[in-house]
């Protein structure tokens, strides 16, 4: 009986020592959190292993995530996965449908999300700003180029083809004016002024013929000339010569004749009149988006989804580099308090650590049993 009690006693002692040793070793992974000093000397094994090596652990975890867990190849493969893309598209369609069928207005959305309180005024101001920038860019781009270089060939051809019609129009209007009483009176005034400027010679002609008789003679001749084909050809030739001169000049010669503010104002008014977005500012989305809902949900979103995934997949490696995942993981781990870090590790491996403690107790008990046998028989 004495021998049995001794063996049991040795087993218990061995189990306690083995279990406590493993339990203490596990605790020393995390505790103490801070170094302990005695006589100004740091005690060994303080702080615990994980607190002491937290920086190295964080760095190694960052490398592990980047090199083995979240790799560019794995990220790209996920982005190109048909099931994932379809799930993403369905999610986006549900969100878009809910948004388009809501009672929210563009003005309220801009006020809440972008802090724009006067949406219409802001939109008009933004339109003017964009138009001004575009106009300045066009002026800078084309000012040093000739008009012939800027005008499209179709426009140039159409303008040149219109010259005969313009010449005929000028001749017709001029003939109608000369034939009218107003034209005849104006012609008489011009003849009178002309003769006055000629001094004595003009007075002699005026006295000899009389102003009225001279007008009566000149007017029919002018009308006769205007009815002649050569008059139209002459006007057409003049127009063509002036057109050729104008084409060879730089666009900057036209700038003094362009009122930038007026052009912008007219373009803005046209956009406000033609683009319905201004009328939609205060209207609920559900009242006008139903016309576009089907196209947005079933056409635009799927195309954008596939396009976005293709672009992200192609740029996946660069994207991961830009995200600095290794540094992000390291900073996140270093930001954990030691208590959080301990709890995180224990939540993952608590069962296994308990089994290690029990294993230590079992091994200690076996060693105690062997020692007891040796003591009894030796």
Kindly give the confidence (pLDDT) of every residue in the chain, 378 residues in length, as a single tens digit, with 9 standing for 90 and above.
777 788 888 888 888 888 898 888 888 777 777 777 777 787 777 777 777 777 777 788 778 777 777 788 888 888 889 999 999 999 999 999 998 888 888 888 888 877 777 777 888 888 888 888 888 888 888 888 888 888 888 888 898 889 889 989 998 888 888 888 888 878 777 766 766 665 555 455 555 554 445 677 777 888 888 888 888 888 899 999 988 888 888 888 877 877 888 888 888 888 877 777 777 777 888 888 888 888 999 999 999 999 999 998 888 888 888 888 888 887 877 777 777 777 777 777 778 888 888 888 888 889 888 887 887 776
Distance CA 212, CA 215 (A): 5
State whether residue 29 is helix, strand or coil: helix
State whether residue 378 is helix, strand or coil: coil
Q: Which residue has the tokens 């076996």?
A: 366
State whether residue 40 is helix, strand or coil: coil
Structural domain includes residue 207: yes
When divided into structural domains, the chain yields a total of 1
Structural domain includes residue 174: yes
Structural domain includes residue 301: no
Structural domain includes residue 187: yes
| Contact of 8 with 1, CB cutoff 8 Å | no
Distance CA 88, CA 94 (A): 10
Q: Which domain holds residue 168?
A: 146-249
Distance CA 234, CA 63 (A): 86
Structural domain includes residue 287: no
Structural domain includes residue 195: yes
Alpha carbon separation from 239 to 162, 175, 222, 234 (Å, rounded): 10, 18, 20, 9
Which residues does residue 250 pair with via DSSP β-bridges, in sequence order?
146
Distance CA 17, CA 365 (A): 9
Distance CA 345, CA 329 (A): 16
Structural domain includes residue 58: no
Q: Residue 98: which of 234, 337, 301 has the closest Cα?
A: 301
Structural domain includes residue 176: yes
Query: Of all helices (H) and strands (E), which one includes residue 259?
Result: none
**Cβ neighbours, 10 Å, residue 97:** 15
| Contact of 75 with 315, CB cutoff 8 Å | no
Pull the structure tokens for residue 331.
């900073």
| Contact of 67 with 243, CB cutoff 8 Å | no
**Cβ neighbours, 10 Å, residue 21:** 15
DSSP state of 38: E
Alpha carbon separation from 156 to 159, 217, 247 (Å, rounded): 5, 42, 9
Work out the burial of residue 312: count CB atoms within 10 Å of its CB; fewer than 13 is exposed, 13-18 middle, 19 or more buried.
middle
State whether residue 37 is helix, strand or coil: strand
């Amino acid at each position: 009986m004495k021998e049995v009690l001794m063996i049991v006693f040795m087993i218990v002692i061995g189990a306690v020592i083995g279990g406590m040793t493993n339990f203490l070793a596990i605790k020393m992974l995390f505790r103490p959190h801070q170094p302990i000093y005695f006589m100004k000397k740091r005690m060994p094994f303080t702080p615990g292993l994980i607190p002491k090596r937290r920086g190295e652990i964080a760095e190694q975890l960052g490398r592990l995530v980047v090199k083995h867990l979240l790799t560019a190849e794995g990220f790209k493969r996920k982005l190109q996965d048909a099931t994932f893309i379809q799930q993403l598209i369905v999610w986006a369609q549900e969100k878009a449908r809910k948004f388009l069928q809501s009672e929210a207005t563009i003005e309220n959305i801009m006020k809440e999300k972008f802090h724009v309180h006067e949406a219409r005024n802001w939109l008009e101001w933004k339109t003017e700003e964009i138009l001004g920038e575009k106009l300045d860019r066009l002026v800078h781009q084309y000012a040093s180029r000739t008009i012939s270089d800027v005008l499209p060939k179709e426009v140039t051809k159409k303008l040149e083809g219109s010259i005969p019609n313009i010449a005929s129009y000028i001749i017709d209007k001029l003939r109608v004016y000369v034939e009218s009483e107003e034209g005849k009176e104006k012609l008489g005034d011009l003849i009178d002024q002309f003769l006055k400027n000629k001094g004595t010679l003009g007075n002699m002609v005026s006295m000899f013929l009389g102003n009225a008789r001279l007008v009566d003679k000149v007017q029919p001749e002018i009308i006769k000339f205007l009815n002649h084909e050569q008059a139209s050809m002459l006007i057409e030739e003049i127009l063509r010569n002036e057109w050729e001169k104008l084409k060879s000049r730089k666009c900057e010669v036209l700038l003094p004749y362009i009122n930038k503010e007026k052009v912008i104002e007219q373009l803005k008014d046209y956009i406000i009149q033609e683009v319905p977005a201004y009328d939609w500012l205060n209207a609920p989305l559900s009242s006008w988006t139903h016309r576009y809902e089907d196209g947005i949900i079933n056409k635009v979103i799927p195309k954008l989804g596939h396009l976005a995934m293709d672009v992200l997949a192609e740029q996946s490696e660069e994207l991961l580099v830009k995200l600095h995942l290794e540094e992000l993981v390291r900073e996140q781990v270093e930001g954990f308090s030691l208590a959080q870090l301990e709890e995180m590790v224990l939540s993952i491996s608590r069962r296994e650590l308990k089994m290690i403690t029990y294993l230590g107790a079992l091994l200690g008990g076996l060693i105690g049993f062997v020692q007891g046998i040796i003591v009894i028989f030796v």
